[in-house]
Structure 1
Amino acid sequence: MGKNQSSKIFSPELSCTARIFTLTPHFTQADHAIAGLAINHPQLVATSSARELGRHSDVSEASVIRFVQKLEYESLKDFRDALKKELVNSQTAGNSSVSTQPNTPTEALAQVVALCSQALQMLTTAIDIEELGRAADALEKSTCIHFFAAGGSIRVAQHAAFKLLRLGYPAYAQSEPFSQIAQASIVQSGSVAFGISFTGSTKSVVDALAAAKENGAIVICLTNFAGTQVTELSDIRLITPAPGGILAANSAQTRVAQFAILDALLTLITPRCEYVEK
């Protein structure tokens, strides 16, 4: 990206993490390697030279510099300074792996609300709007919608399936991995296979999506990390921010972002029945 202000897409205040997730669909393999390091090991990245970052990511120094420029930072120092600032803000909000323990119920509630608010704010800039629209179109045109998830994401999948049923769409969300594989084996062309996985590498979800894709289903994924097995299998990729890195898998901010995306999809599609839940 050039230095011309008119060519820039990010406001100066936008965080490193939000910039990374915004550009994730357009990253090269080298970019994904550096981005993964920045998301999961921000303290290391914030204090490393270009040579050290290249060694840790198994990419060249030139790839590191190009990555920084894609994020619209003038230099590696600017990138590291911005990342350090984000780390300080995260620690202040209790969003680090060694967070300040709240002393009162009021502080605990305020901490969780702040984290959820941060996740939703990041979501508005990080999600690929075109992919969101494609996902809504695929759901609306589908003959049947099958959800595949594991762990805490199962509840998110069941919530979406229930809402879709109320709107007149055949939708299913099994909770057991073996039941999901059986469900995937009978998916037919014209259906949608919707995988939800925080890491993008959950084996049961990967296996189910692979089976459904082989049967001709359109595959949609909702995940927090690009360049994973789930995203590689998917025709449509909905990638949400992961403010706390890989350790945030079952956190409130992760779930609120997932629910927000699914509710946005439900808002976009046309009901197939006369009754619409108020």
Structure 2
Amino acid sequence: MSNENIKNGNPLIMIHSVYQSLTKAEQKVADVILVDSKESMYYSVTDLAEKANVGETTVIRFCRKLGFRGYQEFKLAIAQNIAGIVDRASEELRETDDFNELAQKITLHNKQVIKETLSLIQESQFQKAVDAIVKARRLYFFGVGSSGMTASDAQYRFMRLGFNAECATDAHIIAMNCALVSEQDVVVGITSSGSTKDLVDLVELAKEKGAFIICITNHAKSPITQYADAILLAAARENPLQGGAFSSKIGQLHVLDILTTIISIQQKEQSQLSLEKTAKAVLDRLF
């Protein structure tokens, strides 16, 4: 059976069909997925490797044996082949829900995201991030796709507080910025999955250049965290069909709101002066 034929079928069925041809390490990966395929959609590549007690390269090799280019494409196929997936925590959305029911369920879900994000907050990680930011020469906020929009929001807020802040969402621009950073700079990588290759590889480059690395992610154990000096966790789980969900952005923005508030309090005079200057700068642009 060719890899293309495997890829086009139901990946769970195909895992069974090729199981005996897998190495023992790859069979461990298959076992984790087959035991709870729905839950596995939310694992990062590092999560799955740990649960299977194998290396990340084994997970990638397993996915490629099934005909997929990598782990993310495999997860997407899993999501597409599990019927009836609607992840709204305990409040499942139904086609029969009226407007008020939909609005209430979504509101409850988003409140839960903020509550869960609060439970993930580690003061020591925030303090390390704050200490690095307040003495940085320049701040760089990087994100790809939906997380790029969060990076743009972050750059805007820190600029209002008087920081020399840059934002990039294009992989080529991120690469050039990372090649030019120094030990005086702070790089903030924003990625829900923690596994966005265009970002992870470039954050590694910035780390090699000596920049202080902060990551904002939903996964404590994901590829980007191995390069981070401070890890700020946001709640909200996405399966591959929900990439860019607003709930993930709410978690990211909540983390940034806490971070900027701490800094504005610690740097009260500078922050207040900068907020006044930037407000006056746009005053004549408003009716």
1:256 aligned residue: 250
How far does residue 133 in structure 1 lie from its aligned partner after superposition? 1.9
Stretches of structure 1 lacking an aligned partner (at least 5 in a row) = 1-32, 45-53, 61-88
Q: Which among 113, 119, 124 is matched to residue 125 of structure 1?
A: 119
Contact in 2 for aligned 1:40/1:245 (Cα 8 Å): no
Write the distance in 1 (CA, Å) between the matches of 2:200 and 2:161.
Answer: 28
CA distance in 2, matches of 1:214, 1:186: 11
- What TM-score, normalized to structure 2? 0.63
Question: Would the aligned equivalents of 1:199 and 1:246 in 2 still touch at CA under 8 Å?
Answer: no
After superposing the two structures, state which structure 1 stretch, 207-216 or 267-276, moved more. 267-276
Among 93, 97, 122, which residue is 2:91 paired with?
93
Q: Which amino acid aligns with 2:109?
A: L
Aligned length: 205
Following superposition, the deviation at residue 248 of structure 1 comes to 4.5
Task: Give the aligned partner of residue 239 of structure 1.
Answer: 233
Deviations 1:134-154 (A, max 9, x none): 112211111110111111111
Report the Cα offset of residue 105 of structure 1: 2.6
The question of whether the paired residues in 1 share the 8 Å contact of 2:137 and 2:185 is answered with yes
| Cα distance in 1 for residues equivalent to 2:150 and 2:215 | 13
What amino acid does structure 1 have at the position aligned with 2:172?
F
- Measure, in 1, the Cα distance between the counterparts of 2:123 and 2:218: 15
Matched, 1:224 2:218: yes
Rg larger for: 2
Describe the shift of the 1:197–1:40 C-alpha distance in structure 2 as closer, same or farther (beyond 3 A): farther
Residues 201-235 of structure 1: CA deviation (Å, up to 9, x unaligned) = 11111122112111110001001112221000111
- Please name the residue that 1:49 is paired with: none
Q: Is the 8 A contact 1:127 1:238 kept in 2?
A: yes
What do you get for the CA RMSD once the two structures are aligned?
A: 3.3
- The answer for the alignment partner of 2:275 in structure 1 is 276
Q: Note the alpha carbon deviations across 1:46-102, whole angstroms, 9 max, x for none.
A: xxxxxxxx9x93349xxxxxxxxxxxxxxxxxxxxxxxxxxxx956412xxxx4235
Residue 245 of structure 1 deviates from its aligned partner by: 5.2
| Cross-structure match for 1:206 | 200
Distance 1:170 1:102, change over 3 A: farther
Instruction: Give SS of 2:190's match.
Output: strand
The residue number in structure 1 matching 2:168 is 174
SS of the aligned residue for 2:97 comes to coil
Q: TM-score, length-normalised on structure 1?
A: 0.65
Q: Structure 2 unaligned runs (5+)?
A: 1-28, 42-47, 55-86, 280-287
* Residue type of the alignment partner of 2:131: D
Contact 1:146 1:171 in 2 (8 A): yes
Alpha-carbon distance between aligned partners in 2 of 1:127 and 1:102, rounded to the nearest angstrom: 37
